[in-house]
Structures are given as C-alpha cells and as structure tokens.
Amino acid sequence: ERGTQFRQVCNVCKYQKPAVDVKFSPRHLGLKLATGWQDGVVRIYEAMDVMNLSQWSLMEEFDVGSKSKDESGCHISWNPSSFDPPSLVVGNYEGAIKIFQFNDNTRKWSSVDLCSPENEKHSDAIHD
C-alpha cells in the first residue's frame, strides 16, 4: 500500500563501532541476522519468537579482523543452500576471504576454509 510507514521494532545491536554489513539468513535457517562490524567482528542474532521481533538473542560472535585491528571491517554473505550446513563467507578490507560453518556437534561457528592465503590476497571489491 502506498504511504505505508516502516517502524522500528528493535535496536538489536548497541556497540561502539558501526556495523558495515547486515544480512538475514535464508528462510530454512529460521529468523537469523548476521552482522559484520567495522572492528572485524561477526555477530549472529536470532529471533526466538517470530511473533515478537523486539526480542533478538546474540547466538554467536567471532573475530575475523586483521592482526593490526585497524578497523578494517568485514562483509558477509549467507550460503543459500538448504543441503549444506549453515555457512557464511566473510571478506575483509585486507583482502582475506574466510568461510565459516556452523557445527551441530559443538554448537559453534568455525572457520573451515581459508580462500586467500597470506601471500594471495584479493585486491578488488567484494560484492554479493
């Protein structure tokens, strides 16, 4: 409908550094939100009750930043496949690309593949 106004229902993240990327998960993973932060941290939130979007829980937090911690930021993209375990690809401004996957046994996200070794960094912009 024309003229419909959006309204804020929740302020999920309150941190000192700004978020540089925000993505909803694919539908088959439930209502999750991955955020990439300027300080190189990825945080994953989940709405436990889809009827109450004012309540989001921080489910996981992992650092993908640079060794120098010069606020390089990170960008994220979910793997849309329902056949694979939940996974994210994360790229930072230093050119590193990492794949993180959720492990059901440990209930944690961990790096499963490093696509850019230290001597082969990606130099162009990463778009999803």
Q: What is the mean pLDDT of the chain?
A: 80
Distance from C-alpha of 27 to C-alpha of 50, rounded to nearest angstrom: 12
pLDDT of 52 reads: 80
Q: What is the mean pLDDT of residues 53-62?
A: 86
Largest CA distance in the chain: 53
pLDDT of 126 reads: 58
- Percent share of the chain, pLDDT over 90: 27
Position 84: which residue type? D
- pLDDT tens digits, 78-116: 999 999 999 999 887 777 788 999 998 998 988 885 555
Flag whether pLDDT at 43 surpasses 80: yes
Indicate the helix (H) or strand (E) that contains 108: strand 108-114
- What pTM was estimated for this model as a whole? 0.75
38: pLDDT confidence band, cut at 50, 70 and 90?
confident
* Residue 109: CB atoms within 10 Å: 20
Structure tokens at 34: 């991955």
pLDDT of 91 reads: 85
